[in-house]
């Protein structure tokens, strides 16, 4: 069984998907982390354009354990590095390349096993797993998303300015929704979950309920 959660930056999809995976003991696949890891590798190459010609040689591995989605490139762990601002500010440009999208999609298809898996991203319900058993689209207004991101950054010890975070979210929304290759959009058969007025626990509970209802039907 495949459950996908798509949505824009700061909608709460990754943290919600992780918590749901922990509570229901599901496998978790973070597609954004894979795009971020490819971005780290490209930066390491010195932003060489020839890097993209050799994408198939990229040694990218990952594992979900103890509530953490860990990522390695050539046996070097990049789990923390992928979350830095240096990566967040360019990942959408790297992710707009069809060759990068093809690679990440191939990796994700290989990773989906027999077990129940929850995955989150931008295009999972529309392009990567159109056959998913349950599709959820999480959204919230840009201001709510920016407030959440600002708080998250401050809580993790980083400096964050609300207006700056909001500008970057709007920029990333535009890149993700406006690109030609599998843009961010809600699948026709997805369930819309607006999170503006929901607490984190309410979001998690709602999605757990949707999954459990689906499991009963199967």
Give the footprint of ligand CDP on this chain (CB under 6 A).
Answer: 9, 14, 31-33, 35-36, 91-92, 95, 121-124, 172, 176
Please tell me the distance from the alpha carbon of residue 189 to that of residue 158, in angstroms, as a whole number. 38
Residue with Cβ nearer ligand CDP (139 or 176) = 176
Residue with Cβ nearer ligand CDP (31 or 203) = 31
Residue with Cβ nearer ligand CDP (131 or 217) = 131
Q: Which of 1, 3, 13, 2 is nearest to 184 (CA)?
A: 13
- Dihedral sign (CA 207, 210, 213, 215): negative
> Could you tell me the smallest distance in angstroms from the CB atom of residue 12 to ligand CDP?
9
- Dihedral sign (CA 160, 166, 171, 172): positive
> Could you tell me the smallest distance in angstroms from the CB atom of residue 88 to ligand CDP?
7
> Could you tell me the smallest distance in angstroms from the CB atom of residue 209 to ligand CDP?
23
Based on C-alpha coordinates, what's the Rg of the chain? Answer: 17
Instruction: Identify how many contiguous H helices and E strands the chain contains and give both numbers.
Output: 8, 8
Residue with Cβ nearer ligand CDP (138 or 211) = 138
Within its chain, how far is the Cα of 55 from the centroid? 20
> Could you tell me the smallest distance in angstroms from the CB atom of residue 122 to ligand CDP?
4
Residue with Cβ nearer ligand CDP (9 or 211) = 9
> Could you tell me the smallest distance in angstroms from the CB atom of residue 137 to ligand CDP?
13
Angle between helices 13-24 and 200-217 (to 10 degrees): 50
Chain residue at closest Cβ approach to ligand CDP: 32
Question: 178 is written with which tokens?
Answer: 């406006």
């Amino acid at each position: 069984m495949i459950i996908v959660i798509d949505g824009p930056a700061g909608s709460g999809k990754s943290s919600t998907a992780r918590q749901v995976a922990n509570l229901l003991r599901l496998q978790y696949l973070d597609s954004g982390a894979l795009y971020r890891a490819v971005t780290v590798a490209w930066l390491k190459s010195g932003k060489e354009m020839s890097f993209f010609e050799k994408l198939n040689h990229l040694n990218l591995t990952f594992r979900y354990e103890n509530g953490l989605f860990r990522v390695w490139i050539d046996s070097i762990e990049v789990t923390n590095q992928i979350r830095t601002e240096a990566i967040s500010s360019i990942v959408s440009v790297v992710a707009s390349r069809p060759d990068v999208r093809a690679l990440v999609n191939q990796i994700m298809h290989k990773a989906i096993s027999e077990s129940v898996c929850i995955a989150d991203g931008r295009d999972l319900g529309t392009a990567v797993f159109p056959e998913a058993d349950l599709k959820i689209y999480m959204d919230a207004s840009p201001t709510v998303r920016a407030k959440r991101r600002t708080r998250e950054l401050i809580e993790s010890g980083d400096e964050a300015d609300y207006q700056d975070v909001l500008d970057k979210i709007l920029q990333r929304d535009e890149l993700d929704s406006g690109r030609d290759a599998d843009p961010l959009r809600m699948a026709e058969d997805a369930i819309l979950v607006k999170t503006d007025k929901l607490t984190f626990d309410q979001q998690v509970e709602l999605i757990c309920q949707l999954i459990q209802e689906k499991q009963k039907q199967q």
